[in-house]
Structure 1
Amino acid sequence: MITNNITNALLSGIEQQTPQVAPQNVETYLATIEKAQKDLEKVDPAIALVDEQPADSEVLAMVAAHQKQVVQSMVSSNPEDAIALTIAASIEAYSAQLEAIEQQTKGLGAFEDAMEVMWEDISQTSPLTGYALEDAFQLVLMDVLIHADDYHLSTEDMNTLQRFMECGGSGMHGSHEYYNGDDFADDIASLFNSIYNQAPPDSLAYTITRSMSSQSNCPDALVQQFEDNWGNLDQWYDDWNNGVGEVSPLMRMALLSSVLADESIELTSEEYNMFLTGSLSDIDAFMTDHYGKNTITYINSDLDGWNYYYTTSPNEGTGYGMNFWSTQGVTVDYFTELSKNLPARPLTDEELKEINRIGDQVKMLQQTLKYWLQICRDEQMAIARNI
């Protein structure tokens, strides 16, 4: 955490380290100082808002970026000025803190927050059975893809992961390139154990795999799920068309992101959560009300990257069931694309405290910058008078 010691150190050192500029460059340097002072004043209104409304990381990030530009303009005018470099370093420090908070609340951070909401809903039933086992494991694989650098999966496990993301989970069963439920039953234990052994203790994958192992007898129960409950094409097609069953976590996120991108619709918080935890019939009701079509029809006609491939004479080589339009399978790039439409989650109490602390630091450094620029100006004015 940044402390007031940084600002105090800067203030104590300013008068001893005022810039020394050659006489012929004084006027140019004075012009630079005056411009920097005017530029700094531009963010005063934003800083004043910090005391008048709840902490806002975007406002503080904007102020930090502006302060950094002011300091950088001074550094470029007088590269030997150590004070400028020190101030720039402290601004860089709290800018990094703000960026870290932003990443946790928006984009993939919001995506991960939605995943935790879905896991909390799924885990209310224990032990997990049936398709809930597949949905829980799909959340594990989503977490692995988002944090791929933390895992060192084999090529075989990665292939299984990508196939599972497309064909595993509630409502998503199908076969592509001759790969079906029997193949998942053969391969899923290796993938589960690889992730179980490598998941960082603070990860969602760690939480879920530990729960699935201790409370739901996984990976054995997951293997048996594929052996006994893969179903058939007609069953899945009928379920989707009649609003029967649940929706997999990945498809929930795909549908939610698609609806959020529709500017004609403004989701309520209740509707947002419905997409994360509601049943297929709940989502069907929303789709019918807003689009005049059920969910499977929406997927086939409106959902980018997906369709439900149905034929009365399915060919496993051609594929059937839920189909993702990518030869690579589902990758983290797809999650990043989905997350662009997700609203930022609310800040935690700890995050709010941290932003407030940063806000205090931003205000103190604003005063430090003004004081420093004035010292620089006075020094150069004195030099100018003596030329």
Structure 2
Amino acid sequence: MLTLTTQNITLAQTAKDKTEAITHIAASLTQQGYVETAYVQGMLNRETQSSTFLGNGIAIPHGTTETRHLVQKTGVAIHHFPQGVDWGNGMVYVAIGIAAKSDEHLGILKQLTKVLSADGVEAALKEAKTEQDIINVLNGQTQLMADFDATLIQLKFPASDMLQMTAVASGLLRNSGCTTDDYISEVITKKPTHLGAGLWLVSGSKGVSRSAMSFVSTASDCEFEGQQVHGLIAFSACNASHKPLLYKLSELILSKCQQDILDADVKQLLALFDLSEQTPEIAEDTANQATFKIKNTHGLHARPGAMLVAEAKKFESTIRVSNLDGDGSSVNAKSLMKVIALGVKHGHRLQFIADGSDAELALISIGKAIESGLGEG
């Protein structure tokens, strides 16, 4: 099985554009004996057909089916671009050059989809300093989302001043294993920021092992520097994984939702700061369904997968797809990462369920695209 290792990675690379980046990656594949020299042209040609940018700072440049004979053995070359390379439809910080004799690379694509849909991946790759940092991100071992759960919430605490509020908020983070006493020592000396309506914010980075957010509200009114204190949010930060929660908080504040935060119970607070992707469920009795068999020799790798997703995105209807020859799970057909994660191989049957005003037309169009080979003839 093809896997990603630290030996595949070349750090601190720069390139003026994706053509130069791909050329360097092809040279690495050649030097390692994976491909013949002419394979670079196949990689460049492949890029002109459709972008290999997957999102979240990752691209997977590879050759065309016509240059597959130039692959001597399956392998990868990973280049890290800390300054980023403009891929045309997004910035790339890690490019994974793939040389595959058949469909061995589908395992890598499926592995990547586990982190491509997560917040914080792009920042983590950009800030990576070592080969192991990058592997940890790609393998899903790096914290990409700050912790925030019921154990980090304390409602109606009988605090008499801001110091007590800060001690409780930081204590929740320590008790959850995110911080040490050094964090508490840091934040109790900091002046919190007033977010309005009696909601306050404090943060720290000393003694932090995991990024997290805690929330404490008061049982009775108290004041800090002449202003009401009703609630305190505390952040611990050891990487960029806290930023999505911070951005969500900013959105709530700009929308003047401070009181919503202060009045919420535990379940409502978790819902307010929920960053997970929400895909509408489809009632099967109101949906259109169709099943198509994949004809592509190497299954739904990046290019045909992108063609399928692009076809689905042409329509307003909600469209979900499941691999009947896989685990049967249903995913959003308009998400490239989720479609690739289905691990679709030649001959697999895909079931599409669509719901909306143009659902029937969407299924007809998707069926035609699959029948035509999704750009591969």
Q: Which has the higher contact order (CA 8 A, sep 6+)?
A: 1
Bigger strand share:
2
Interval of TM-score (by shorter of Structure 1 and Structure 2): under 0.3
What TM-score comes out, normalization by structure 2 length? 0.24
* TM-score normalized by the length of structure 1: 0.24
